[in-house]
Structure 1
Amino acid sequence: MEAVDAAIKIIQIYEANFPECLSRVFVINAPKVFSIGYPILKPFIHERTRNKIKIFGHDAKQWKAAILAEVNPEELPACYGGTMTDPDGNPNCLTILNMGGEVPKSYHFSGKPDTANKKSLSISSGSKEHLEFKVERSGDILKWNFHSEESDIGFAVYRKQGSELIPVVPHDRVDCQMSAEEGEIDCGETGVYVVEFDNNFSYLRSKKIWYSIKVESGSMIRENGNGFDSL
């Protein structure tokens, strides 16, 4: 399901920032599993974009005809049904199309973020967890450092005001499985601050996070950089 989550995010970013730049998408040689994943994606794709996507199985005759109906054969590599080739006759047009390759080992992910001095928290699918921290002096600093074991997690900070939760840090989905998310706020008002980890958007997968959250004295930080944990 990570691939589905990634595809949804890519599509949403594309539609939000590059509207109407997409002319047509041809998905060819789609595996059977695609018939399971695509219906999950469709509700997150604008109808205008959905109408530009054409999906084909392994019938090359069918998808080549569909592509040629919209692309000039002289501008389409021969491997996709056109007449374009490399100077040496290669139908894959490798001198024009970058097909990627093996990722150098220097770019391989070396490990997960450090869990030392962090607590773990499991958040069920479709739910959220609240952690409360008491700020006794105006100007104290609420600091956080967290990461997830896989996929993203919703994060927000609120201040309690009676039975209400007043937003302090707006809710956002954070990709923190590769590197830890760090931040802090200057608590201008005393009271109870609520840190929220939200997994409401995940219908199938629970999330496990590792976190370190503390309240430090603002005056001590300004004077000598030292502080103390509140909770």
Structure 2
Amino acid sequence: MDDIKHIALETFQAVLPIAVLVVALMLVFVDGSGQMILQFLAGVVMVTVGLGLFLLGVKVGLLPLGEAIGSELPQRGSLVLLMLLTLFIGFAATVAEPDVRVLAYQIDAVSDGEISKRVLVTFVGIGVGVFLAIAAARVVLGIPMAYILTAGYLAVFALSAFVPPHFVPISFDAGGVTTGPMTVPFILALGVGLTSVLGGKSSLGDSFGFVALASIGPIIAVMLLGVFYG
């Protein structure tokens, strides 16, 4: 019950400022009618309830599940198996991410179907999965994160010279939308679970950085897609 009260208060505090601002803008600049404002407020209520239920679901289901999977995988004793499973988990979580599907829909509409939704979602998912597997291997092997981040962004800047110009902003947006409400909680919990078993002096630092590494993957993957399309 305390969790429900805390999440309800947190959701209300998050939604209220933007709701007040939008209503004020509608009254001052848009000359919104009473019906329009009522429709907006009805939408705000539904968004608030939906967001609260989502956050409750994340706390009750996603976070414990991610930590449980993360703490179990290293005990299997195989780095290859660990990387394969985290790759699949990263791909599955990304495919289920609503923000990724919104981006894919918009790009499909703007490009008149030249860049299909299915292809884009697949490449973004593969990118996240590959770099999530690299992030898991980094924890096991003790590789400094700065090395992988540097190599990843050097690859990004190198690829940007070979892809069609319109693919560059799409690629960076693809990296941004993967940090959405579905993917981030699970990846963070997975990282905490992995490092809780592996331990070590840098376990606190190793618990984080998974999202930063995973967001590089979609950028590189979409740029490679641009090379193919180009």
TM range (shorter): under 0.3
| Larger CA Rg, structure 1 vs 2 | 1
Q: Per residue, is there more helix in 1 or in 2?
A: 2
Q: Per residue, is there more strand in 1 or in 2?
A: 1
Alignment TM-score, normalising by the size of structure 2: 0.22
